[in-house]
Amino acid sequence: MNSDTFLIELKASVGAALVFDDSTTRDYYANDVFWQPGIPPLAVVVPESGKQAADAVKVAARHKISLIPRGGGMSYSKGYLPESAQSIVIDLRKLNRVLEVNVADNYITVEAGCTWAQVHEALEGFGVNTGYWGPLSGINATVGGALSQNSAFFGSGIHGTVANNVLGVTVLLANGETVTTGSGGRVNTKPFTRYAGPDITGLFLGDTGAFGLKLAATLKLVPAAKDQDFLGFGFKDMTSMVLAQAEMSHLSAIATSFGIDRSKALNSASVNKLGDGVKILGNVAKVAKGWVQGMKDVVSVVVAGENYLANHECSLHLVVEGRSPQDLTNNMDALRVIGLKHGIEISNAAARVMRSKPFNPVRGMLGADGQRWVPIHAVFPMSEAARVVAASDAYFESQRALIEQHGIILSHLTMTVAGEFFFEPAFYWSDEITPLHRKSLGDDVVAPWLSRPANVAAREAVVALRKGVQAVYVGLGGVNWQIARDYPFKEVQQPQTWALLTALKEAVDPDGLMNPGSLGFRR
């Protein structure tokens, strides 16, 4: 294959201004939040329309060039990293239009490059929201990226992951053809329901781009919560906290929740500060009903202080909803009974501040003192929560010497996602700041740490720890989202299941051009 010939044809087809083949851009797109250095692609295409994306795919297909979809760039699992230099990355962030808001029929259709912050803003004033309405990184994370990786946070306590809230997708296949799933794929039918025959929408959810490149998606709408409140609880240990979470999950009253340990509170830049000046406090007041209540809420945040979370080995933070004021009161009372059985009630400031301004800059991709950060996660049946915590603790205790040798800090995050248990250890360590961190956060944020040298030994120790605990979680029956090239997938499938998936992959991508390596599929 003549690279020059391919690039000339690609630029002629898509437009030279939308194709970037300089070394700086190519190197930048060869790294994600954790994995570095990667393999630079031949070029990066940034289409502004579905047609331009399709044109790029068709040219690549003729030349047998691999196609790597990319959204907001928040992946830490090699989701958008090329397997070989014979690849192009297609960055979809300029496909970011809101195509339709249909409140009467309960759906919104957006292009895949829309961020969750843009979706949330588009629905303001309508009295509705998507059930799941974004990750903490929603100022950068795109709808298409969340669909590919699967994702949970805001709204997930009741409504589950993003995959539970999708009615249909429009996908660009490896041959350049575009297909739409759900009722929107029928002739003269609105995209109002997912189930209009076989559920082929699911094929493209959580696939980390292996089956197709998302161009647009339709999400179902639900009434926005009118009655909500906040709770916080402190616990003596992780087991007590997850037992409380398991019991609370049966109430279907928690819109959003997260549990953290003391290490997470101290080291995560996402949670270690409650106040960020007058702006955040103003947002806290806006969430409250009435001026007087708003001022009381602001005072409660100020009184809590920035370090109150460090007073507890673990803490749980809840956004609680109700169908009416009385229903909310009942939910709060029931949750307090459970929380007090396992721990103590503490300030609700963390949940209140988080909900007041949900989509902040992605400062959490570095630690509080600029440490590099990467998580590892698994999802389990709720009844397994305590057993998972015990097994995870035992593994990390067996690795204490390695952790201490490299100065690695371990923290934990837990969530309940529509009755499932989400468990996420994370690692912090001293290492170089990459161009991805610098561009995502800005020089003013990363300036104090730009001179830090690379720490390959510590990074490789983190790789080993992640791989080891992955094996523990697989042995406990855990499953993963954000699989890409990082989490085990092919290895844990029953043979018949893998055979079916392989047949489906060959049907939609016979040459293996779409994100090869993802999910274990190879060219």
Average pLDDT value for the chain = 92
Reported as a single tens digit per residue, the pLDDT across 132-160 is 999 989 999 999 999 999 999 999 999 99
What single DSSP character describes residue 83?
S
Give the integer Cα–Cα distance in Å for 305 and 307.
6
Percent of the chain with pLDDT over 70: 93
Q: Tell whether the model's pLDDT for residue 302 goes beyond 50.
A: no
Please enumerate in sequence order all residues whose Cβ is within 8 A of that of 374, keeping only pairs 6 or more positions apart, or say none.
33, 34, 76, 426, 427, 462, 466
Query: Which of 408, 397, 401 is CA-nearest to residue 367?
Result: 408
Please enumerate in sequence order all residues whose Cβ is within 8 A of that of 430, keeping only pairs 6 or more positions apart, or say none.
371, 372, 407, 452, 455, 458
Which amino acid appears at position 182 of this protein? Answer: G
Q: Tell whether the model's pLDDT for residue 277 goes beyond 50.
A: no
Provide the 3-class DSSP secondary structure of residue 138: coil
pLDDT interval class at 280 (50, 70, 90): low
- State how far the alpha carbon of 272 is from the alpha carbons of 68, 265, 305, 437, in Å: 35, 5, 10, 19
Give the integer Cα–Cα distance in Å for 193 and 201.
11
Per-residue confidence (pLDDT) for residue 278, from 0 to 100: 41
Which residue is listed with tokens 């490789």? 460
Structure tokens belonging to residue 488: 């085990």
Give the integer Cα–Cα distance in Å for 308 and 389.
24
Q: Tell whether the model's pLDDT for residue 284 goes beyond 70.
A: no
313 CB burial (10 A radius; 0-12, 13-18, 19+) = middle
* Cβ 511 vs Cβ 214: under 8 Å: no
Which amino acid appears at position 191 of this protein? Answer: P
Weakest-pLDDT range from 86-95, 102-111, 438-447: 438-447
What single DSSP character describes residue 433?
P
Instruction: Give me the phi and psi of 486, to 5 degrees please.
Output: -110, -45
Instruction: Give the mean model confidence (pLDDT) for residues 391-399.
Output: 98
CA–chain centroid gap for 418, Å, is: 16
Per-residue confidence (pLDDT) for residue 396, from 0 to 100: 98
Reported as a single tens digit per residue, the pLDDT across 5-49 is 999 999 999 999 999 999 999 999 999 999 998 999 999 999 999
**For the domain 3-93, what is the CATH code?**
3.30.43.10
**For the domain 366-475, what is the CATH code?**
3.30.300
The pTM assigned to this predicted structure is: 0.92
Per-residue confidence (pLDDT) for residue 306, from 0 to 100: 56
Structure tokens belonging to residue 521: 């599929």
Reported as a single tens digit per residue, the pLDDT across 223-276 is 998 899 999 999 999 999 999 999 999 998 999 999 999 999 888 876 645 444
CB atoms within 10 A of CB 176: 17
- State how far the alpha carbon of 453 is from the alpha carbons of 119, 191, 276, 463, in Å: 39, 51, 30, 18
Q: Tell whether the model's pLDDT for residue 181 goes beyond 60.
A: yes
What single DSSP character describes residue 450?
T
pLDDT interval class at 356 (50, 70, 90): confident
Per-residue confidence (pLDDT) for residue 303, from 0 to 100: 47
Can you say whether the dihedral through the CA atoms of 115, 117, 118, 122 is positive or negative?
A: positive
* Cβ 108 vs Cβ 102: under 8 Å: yes
Give the right CATH number for 227-356 from 3.40.190.10, 3.90.79.10, 3.30.70.3450, 3.40.50.1820: 3.30.70.3450
Helix axes 349-356, 291-304, angle to 10 degrees: 120
Q: Where are the alpha helices (DSSP H) in 150-261?
A: 156-159, 238-248
**For the domain 98-223, what is the CATH code?**
3.30.465.10
Beta strands 43-45 and 87-91 are: parallel
Reported as a single tens digit per residue, the pLDDT across 421-430 is 999 999 999 9
Q: Where are the beta strands (DSSP E) in 366-452?
A: 372-375, 378-381, 409-417, 420-429
Which amino acid appears at position 3 of this protein? Answer: S
Provide the 3-class DSSP secondary structure of residue 481: coil
CB atoms within 10 A of CB 405: 12
Give the integer Cα–Cα distance in Å for 254 and 358.
16
Reported as a single tens digit per residue, the pLDDT across 45-78 is 999 999 999 999 999 999 999 999 999 999 999 9
Instruction: Give the mean model confidence (pLDDT) for residues 178-201.
Output: 96
pLDDT interval class at 295 (50, 70, 90): very low
Per-residue confidence (pLDDT) for residue 362, from 0 to 100: 86
Per-residue confidence (pLDDT) for residue 225, from 0 to 100: 87
CA–chain centroid gap for 471, Å, is: 22
Provide the 3-class DSSP secondary structure of residue 188: coil
Give the integer Cα–Cα distance in Å for 37 and 436.
11
Provide the 3-class DSSP secondary structure of residue 294: helix
Give CB contacts under 8 A, 24+ apart, made by 389-392.
389/238, 389/239, 389/242, 389/423, 390/239, 391/472, 391/476, 392/423, 392/425, 392/469, 392/472, 392/473
Helix axes 238-248, 325-342, angle to 10 degrees: 150
Where do the structural domains in the chain lie, given as residue ranges?
Answer: 3-93, 98-223, 227-356, 366-475
Q: Tell whether the model's pLDDT for residue 358 goes beyond 90.
A: no
Give the integer Cα–Cα distance in Å for 93 and 116.
12
Query: Which of 517, 518, 516 is CA-nearest to residue 484?
Result: 518
Per-residue confidence (pLDDT) for residue 305, from 0 to 100: 53
Max CA distance (Å), the chain: 69
Reported as a single tens digit per residue, the pLDDT across 475-507 is 999 999 999 999 999 999 999 999 999 999 999
